[in-house]
Each structure stands twice: as structure tokens, then as C-alpha cells.
Amino acid sequence: MRFTKKIIPFFLLFLIISNGFSFVLEPSFPHRKRIGFLNKTVHSGKRIAFVLSGGGARGLAHIGVLRALDEQGIKPDLIVGTSMGAVIGGLYATGYSPEQMREFAHSLDWREIFKPSPKRSDVYLTQRLETERYILSLRFSGISPELPMALSPLQQVFDILSSLTSTANWIADGNFDNLTVPFRAVAVDILSGRVIVFGSGNLAEAIRASISLPVYFSPVSLDSLYLVDGGLLAPIPTEVAESLGAEIIIASDVSIKEVSQKELSNPIDILTRTLDIMSEGTKRDERGLADILIAPELDKYSGSDFANCDSLIEAGYRCADSVLRDNHHTLLHHNERRYYVESISDKNPPPLVSQGKWAALSDIQDGLNTLYQTGKFSKLYADIDTFSDTMRIAYHLVPLDTLRRIKIAGVTALDTVQLHPLIDSLIGREANLVRLQSLVDSLISTYHKRGFTLARVSQAELSNGTAYIGIDEGTIEAIEFLGNEHTRSWALERLLPFHTGEIYNERKVKQGVDALYATKLFDNIYYYPEKGEGGVVLKIRVVEKLHNMLKLAARYDDVSREEIALEFSNEDFLAAMLRFRLGGKYGVRDKWGFCGLTSDRIGKLPLYNSLEVGIREKRCDLFHMDRIEQHLTMKEYLSFRLGSQVHRFGTLYGEFNLSFVTLKRGKQKEHFRRFQSIGIRSIVDTYDDIRFPMKGRYHTWYFKAVYGLPEGDYNFTQSYGDTASIMCELKTS
């Protein structure tokens, strides 16, 4: 039997009652009540914990398990999750229903969110033009190349988790005990080999750490910790739940037990299976700590089988429904002392208790909770007198007064006119906390739908017939960057489409984070709001990549023969997000060297600018006077470009060139010319992939006027246009 701090007061209370004493019972609330007219109540009885294992895509079965628990009225006092169990458990703890999670799982493009790089459409076209002509890129620390830590940094996954949990995390003040259901995420510090249990902090980051399967997904560096998947040491974290005082542990185990040889098709699959086998002993012990074990039959599903979302959820539901029906009495009833109810002072007593029947204290407590949830009373409690095995109950129920006025303060971002019909329907009637809370929830919901996800209630009071509602909209007090040891904070802040003094808007914050990630200067970007002195302090923590890169490319054709291109670049030159490039191309007929400096922005304005100098020697064959002659062109040039970014898919810029050209045809003497040119160029590129595009368009057009110097001969103009469109639909059987 497990003893917790919660049992001891009840045990002492029972000893006192057995000798005959009087005491008072009131509705029971969580240890931290939210600001509002109506708070949730907590059930009396044993402390129930839901424990959710890891298992990759198989973890979607947890959604079905939670649905079965909800249907049978079993509510947890604690949720503990590892890996995918931390994802599902964390969302459930913040208030998402199993049905909402099912719909969300359907809406995700699971292949897309695990990709290791930012979406091509998020990267400035001018940056793509510089990088996509190379087939291999290596980052260097000094002279040592850096290899990737994992196949994916999971940035898109973190962004999704943050958008789903930031509001709940903000309301809970970063304390996971203050969520709708107290929650713990389990990870492992790979440096010390310790299990790390997250009970506070950034909820999205804690969940992200818990799913960091080695080799697949990059670890999370947090303070002195280097965190990976919690399933390595706590695949079914029942021991964590027990240590936190759980008296009844319901564990959902969707971990992989056996695999076929076909599923081990590469070294990574073999590594994953090896980790599963090594943790099997731990799983056996953890299963033994569960009072109720739910283990759906999922043998035909792999850990990456996200396409079978509905089947996985349904399998979890069927198994949980069967197991819970067999154990329902154990969960909802416990060995609590019962008393014969000798008298009840109220003619309409709360449910669960009747005069002339036997009842437990928890029945009275739950009845008061039910009455409170009607929202009809300003005060309610019960005086209890016990005499050996009998009790007398006197209920005190104080109804609310008539509601005469509603005052709302702090609203600046919304027009409250749409709330007037609802407000008018409440005035002049007996006040009801349920209806007032519905008004508050409607107001906050309107904020959230517009992206103001940190708006919350700062005041909810009912006094002398007047309801006072205060709203804290969540104004950004400060923006702090963390982890940027190289890049300057002002260079980062200029990419953000918002500033201090604005109301926090999740959509704008997401746009800013996407813009930062699209620079390809960071492995990960974690962002989370914290409470400041009078507003929101937005903290953005970046994990920087090495900035020195070596890029390589090679090609061959029958005319130009073999060619190789090489470029050294510093992607964050002067720590100001400038790109310095030094490189060239070497071939039998074409040699080229260049040095350039590029920026995609000037201040906060999306103005592309580039300065480049170079030298090029190119040989070509021309048919002249019945014979083929070899022409040699040697050019030294300076080029400057300035223009506007058209969102992320296009650019329009002007270009100035100054060239010194030496021409030689056959055995004739060299001719030297100087040219200057001015032109305009437009490029639009919406291809989803540069090498094998499946959809998108490409348009380019330019006009250039060239003037020979100093004589003015060889003047000419050039113009060119090109367009292409691709739409490819693949059908799979």
C-alpha cells in the first residue's frame, strides 16, 4: 500500500471523527485556483495517475486510451509521459480533449514536420540563389568539419508544440502543477545518465526534450543538461508517478515488443531496436508498478506508421475500454469509512447523500462540488456532526443576488460590441457564476482566435450586484535573446515583425521565429514568454550553427568537359547576418574567381543588396568564315545590386556592372574594352524543390543597357524572359 501526504490528514480526521466531533466541509479546489468566477473542483479519494509510454507513431493509441478514461468518468490527478507519451499527455494536461487531438493528428503532414531544414518557401530567394547551386556543404570549426548531431533538429515540431501549449503554460506561470491536470515530462541527461523529470519551465521545450530519440532527433541543450528521449531509462515512467504520490497508477504501454526483419532495413532502425531491447528489463519492472496496465495490440504498426492514425487510436480505445470496465469499481470506490445519515437539515440535499442511507465523507464532498458547479451560490458548506457510526448534516447554501451591472476593463485590442447581446441577457437576472464564466471565456476566446494568446483574466469579482471583469492583454515589455554568442541581438531583432509595446501575438511571433530559422544560422530556436514587472518578457533562445562553410559542386558535359566549383563562406560575417563569399570555378574552358558580400535586409526593410568583384576566363568555339575559331574572353568586373524582396518567393533588383574585358579571336591580337551596364531583373521561384520539383512556378526577366567606355562604341541592350510551371501528381496504390 502506498502512503502519501494526502492520506495522512484523512487518516487523522477519521480518528477524531470516530470519537464524535463536529467539523465543516466545503467544495474542494486545486491548490491553485485560477482567476475567474467559477473554478474547477477536484474529486475526493485516491490520487490517480495516468502514465503514458513512448512508442513513436504507436503513441497515437494513447489518444484512444484517454478517450476511454473520459467516457468512464475517470479523471487523473497527475499525468506522466515519456517521448510520444509526453506529447499526448502534455496536450491532455493543457486541456485538449481526445477528439481535438485526433483531429489535429489528422491535420498534420507528418513527413513535412520532421524535415531537417527550413521550408524552401521560408528562405529568401536571394539566399537560395547563392546556396542551391552547390551539392555539398560542410561547416567547419577551425579546420575540423562538423558532422550533424542527428537527422533532424525538430524545429517544426517545437513550433507546433509551442503554439499549442504557450497559452496554458503562460496561465500556469510555467508550473506544470497549475495546468488543467498536473503534468510531468521525462527526459534523460545523456551527460550524467540521470532521469530528468520536468515539472516547470517551458512546457513545449520539456516535451521536445522528451522526444529527442538519439541519432534521429538532436538533443536539447538546457543549462548544464544535454537531454535526450526519456524512453532510454524510463520507457514507462510508473516509478516517477509513484514517487510523486500516486496511489492508483494507470499505465498505457504502446512500446514495441517484437519486430520483423523487414522493419530493420537500415542502421538507424537497428540502433532503435537495440535501444528497445536494452530497456526491456526496465519496462518489465515499470509494468509491475502499474495497478492497471493497458497494452493495446499494435504488433502490425511500426513507430513511424503515422498514416494509420485512426487505426492506432481505435486500437487504444478498444483495449482501454475493456480493461477499465473490469477495474471500474477499484478506481471509483475505495475503503473509506461510511456513516449512517441520521438527519439532513436541507429538504433538497446535494446528490450522493440521502437521509436514512449510509454515506462517506467523500460523498458529501463530491456533492458540494456538484452544487458549486451549478454556479448558483455565493457560499456553500456543510456542518458535520458525527457520533460513532452516525452523522448529522446541516447544509448552508447562500444564493447569489440579482446581477445589475457588468464592468469590463483593460480591453483595447477588441471591439466588445459583439458581447453586448450576451451581457444584456445576464443583466436583471439572478447572478450565475456559470453564465458569468461563459462571458469571460467568450471574451478570452475572441482574443485567442485573433492570435493574442496570452490575453487572460486579471480580475473576476462579484460584489453588490456588479460583476467586475479585468483583462490583461499581454503587452510585450521586453525581448531578450539567449544563446547568441556570435550574432548580435540587434541583427536578430530586425527580423521580428513586432516590437516592445505591442500586444503579444502568437502568429507574429511564429513569423519572426520562422524568419530567424530561415537564415540557416541556427540549429534550433526556442521561444517562450515570461512574466515581467508589468507585461510579457519574450525570451528567444537560439542554438547557433558554425558559420564557416565550404561548398562544393561538380559537373561534366561533352563541350565544357569536367568542371568543379568551390566556395568558402562566412554566413554571419561581422556578426551582423552578412554573407561573405570567396570562391570560384575551375574547368578546361571556363575559369572563374570571385569575392562578394551580401545582405538580404537593410535594417528592418527587406532590401537585398550585394557587392561582388571577380575575374573570369572563358573559351568558346565560334564558326567564322567557313572555319571554327576559338575565342578567349577575360573579364574583370565589379557588380552592385540593390532591390526589394518580394515576400520570400521573389526579388526585383537593379544592377550596376563595371567590366574590363580582353577579347582574343584565333591568332589575332588582343582587344581591350571597358563596359558599364545598368539593368533591372525580376525573379519569381515557388518550386517546392530545386532539383526534383513537384509543383511551383519559375519566372525570370531582365533588361540591361551596356555602354562601351570611353569612346561610346559597342553600345547595346539586352532583354530576356523565361517562364516555367510544374504540377505533378503522384498516385500511389
Distance separating alpha carbons of residues 403 and 432, to the nearest angstrom: 8
Same domain, 514 and 534: yes
Of 324-338, 492-506, 533-547, 644-658, least confident by mean pLDDT is 324-338
Same domain, 390 and 421: no
Quick: pLDDT tens for 586-604. 999 999 999 999 999 999 8
Distance separating alpha carbons of residues 92 and 51, to the nearest angstrom: 12
Distance separating alpha carbons of residues 106 and 309, to the nearest angstrom: 7
Quick: pLDDT tens for 259-290. 777 777 767 677 777 878 888 899 999 999 99
Compute the chain's Rg from CA coordinates. Answer: 34
Same domain, 361 and 436: no
For residue 539, what are the domain limits? 476-544
Last residue of a domain, one of 399, 420, 443: 399
Which residues on neighbouring strands pair with residue 494, listed in sequence order? none
- Give the CATH number, domain containing residue 391: 3.10.20
Same domain, 364 and 420: no
The pLDDT of 537-562, averaged and rounded, is 95
Percent of the chain whose pLDDT exceeds 90: 71
467 inside domain: yes
Most confident of 87-91, 337-341, 665-669: 87-91
Q: Which pLDDT belongs to residue 81?
A: 98
Of 11-25, 35-49, 374-388, least confident by mean pLDDT is 11-25
Of 206-220, 264-278, 620-634, least confident by mean pLDDT is 264-278
Same domain, 465 and 610: no
559 compared with 123, residue with greater pLDDT: 123
Same domain, 221 and 307: yes
Last residue of a domain, one of 472, 493, 516: 472
Distance separating alpha carbons of residues 286 and 251, to the nearest angstrom: 9
Same domain, 319 and 373: no
Distance separating alpha carbons of residues 348 and 376, to the nearest angstrom: 14
333 pLDDT band, cuts 50/70/90, is low
241 pLDDT band, cuts 50/70/90, is very high
Residues 29/42, Cβ–Cβ less than 8 Å: yes
483 inside domain: yes
At residue 626, does pLDDT exceed 60? yes
Q: Which residues contact 693 (CB under 8 A, 6 or more apart)?
A: 687, 726, 728
Strands 476-482 and 183-189, how do they pair?
Answer: unpaired
At residue 635, does pLDDT exceed 60? yes
316 inside domain: yes
Q: Which pLDDT belongs to residue 733?
A: 44
- Give the CATH number, domain containing residue 125: 3.40.1090.10
Residues 423/431, Cβ–Cβ less than 8 Å: no
Residues 610/641, Cβ–Cβ less than 8 Å: yes
Q: Give Dmax over CA atoms of the chain in angstroms.
A: 125
DSSP letters for 317-342: HHHHHHHHHHHHHHHH-----EEEEE
Into how many domains does the chain fold? 5
Same domain, 425 and 359: no
Same domain, 387 and 485: no
Q: Which pLDDT belongs to residue 93?
A: 97
Q: Count CB neighbours of 178 within 10 A.
A: 19
Q: How far is CA 467 from CA 122, 286, 308, 436, 472, in A?
A: 47, 51, 49, 8, 17
Distance separating alpha carbons of residues 338 and 358, to the nearest angstrom: 6
Q: Which pLDDT belongs to residue 725?
A: 94
Q: Which pLDDT belongs to residue 2?
A: 46
At residue 666, does pLDDT exceed 80? no
306 inside domain: yes
Q: Which pLDDT belongs to residue 304?
A: 86
Distance separating alpha carbons of residues 638 and 434, to the nearest angstrom: 72
Q: Which pLDDT belongs to residue 259?
A: 77
Peptide bond into 710 cis (omega under 30): yes
The residue type found at 65 is V
**Residues present in the chain in total:** 733
For residue 518, what is its C-alpha cell? 530561415
Mean pLDDT of the chain: 90
The pLDDT of 454-475, averaged and rounded, is 95
Same domain, 95 and 242: yes
Long-range pairs, 664-673, Cβ under 8 A, ≥24: 664/631, 664/632, 665/622, 665/624, 665/629, 665/631, 665/632, 666/629, 666/630, 666/631, 673/708, 673/709, 673/714
Q: HSE (CB half, 13 Å, CA atoms) of 266?
A: 3
140 inside domain: no
Quick: pLDDT tens for 100-157. 999 999 999 998 899 888 989 999 999 999 989 999 999 999 889 998 889 999 999 9
50 inside domain: no
Residues 353/345, Cβ–Cβ less than 8 Å: no
Q: Which residues contact 380 (CB under 8 A, 6 or more apart)?
A: 26, 27, 368, 371, 372, 395, 396, 397, 398
Same domain, 237 and 372: no
49 inside domain: no
- Give the CATH number, domain containing residue 527: 3.10.20.310
Last residue of a domain, one of 363, 381, 399: 399
282 inside domain: no
Same domain, 230 and 324: yes
